[in-house]
Amino acid sequence: MKEKIFINARIIDPSQNMDEIGSLILNDKGKVKAIGKNVKKIDAGSGAELIDLKSNVLTPGLVDMKAFVGEPGFEYKENFRTLSQAALAGGVTSIVTMPNTKPVIDNVSMVDFIIRRGRDKAKVNLYPCAAITRQLEGQQMSEFGLLKERGIIGFSDVNKTIQNTELMSRIMNYASDLDTLIMQHAEDYELAKNSCINEGEVATRLGLQGVSDIAERIIIERDLSLLSEFPCRYHINQISSNNSLKVIEKNKSNGIRFSTGVSINNLSLNENDIGEFRTFLKLSPPLRTEDDRLSLIDGIKKDLIDVIVSDHTPEDEESKRLPFAQAATGSIGIETLLPLSLELYHNKSLTLEKIIKCLTINPAKILKINKGTLKKGSDADICIFDLEKPWIVKAEELKSKSKNTAIENRKLQGKVKMTFLNGELVYSN
Cα(318)–Cα(369) distance, integer angstroms: 38
Q: Can you say whether the dihedral through the CA atoms of 136, 142, 144, 148 is positive or negative?
A: negative
Region 239-257 average pLDDT: 97
Cα(66)–Cα(76) distance, integer angstroms: 20
Residue 32's φ and ψ, nearest 5 degrees, are -75, 125
Domain positions in the chain: 4-58+379-387+411-428, 60-367
User: What are 204-226's pLDDT values in tens digits?
Assistant: 999 999 999 999 999 999 999 99
Cα(202)–Cα(205) distance, integer angstroms: 5
Cα end-to-end distance, the chain, whole Å: 21
| pLDDT at 147 > cutoff 90 | yes
CATH topology match: 4-58+379-387+411-428 vs 60-367:
no
> Quick one: which H or E segment has residue 125?
strand 125-130
User: What are 351-378's pLDDT values in tens digits?
Assistant: 999 999 999 999 999 999 999 999 999 9
pLDDT band at 1 (very low <50, low <70, confident <90, very high): confident
Residue 212's φ and ψ, nearest 5 degrees, are -75, 155
Per DSSP, what are the bridge partners of residue 260?
A: 236
pLDDT at residue number 19: 97
| pLDDT at 287 > cutoff 90 | yes
User: What are 383-425's pLDDT values in tens digits?
Assistant: 999 999 999 999 999 999 999 999 999 999 999 999 999 999 9
| pLDDT at 202 > cutoff 90 | yes
Q: What does R_g of the chain's alpha carbons equal in angstroms?
A: 21
Region 275-295 average pLDDT: 96
Region 101-128 average pLDDT: 94
Region 40-50 average pLDDT: 88
The yes-or-no answer on residue 311 being catalytic is yes
CB atoms within 10 A of CB 81: 17
Fold exhibited by the domain 4-58+379-387+411-428: Urease, subunit C; domain 1 (2.30.40)
With beta carbons less than 8 A apart as the criterion, state whether 22 and 38 touch.
yes
| pLDDT at 85 > cutoff 90 | yes
Percentage of the chain beyond pLDDT 90 is 97
| CATH of the domain spanning 60-367 | 3.20.20.140
- Out of 13, 188, 292, 311, the active site residue is 311
User: What are 321-351's pLDDT values in tens digits?
Assistant: 999 999 999 999 999 999 999 999 999 999 9
pLDDT band at 41 (very low <50, low <70, confident <90, very high): confident
Region 160-171 average pLDDT: 97
Question: What letters, b where the CB count within 10 A reaches 16 and e where it falls short, cover 1-20?
Answer: eebbbbbebbbbbbbbebbe
Percentage of the chain beyond pLDDT 70 is 100
With beta carbons less than 8 A apart as the criterion, state whether 281 and 369 touch.
no
pLDDT band at 267 (very low <50, low <70, confident <90, very high): very high
**Backbone φ/ψ region at 295: left (φ over 0), alpha (ψ -120 to 50), beta:** alpha
Of 113-122, 158-167, 293-302, 406-415, minimum mean pLDDT range: 113-122
Q: Give the distance from CA 156 to its chain's centroid.
A: 14
Cα(116)–Cα(141) distance, integer angstroms: 25
pLDDT at residue number 45: 82
| pLDDT at 243 > cutoff 90 | yes
| pLDDT at 46 > cutoff 90 | no
pLDDT at residue number 26: 96
Region 20-30 average pLDDT: 95
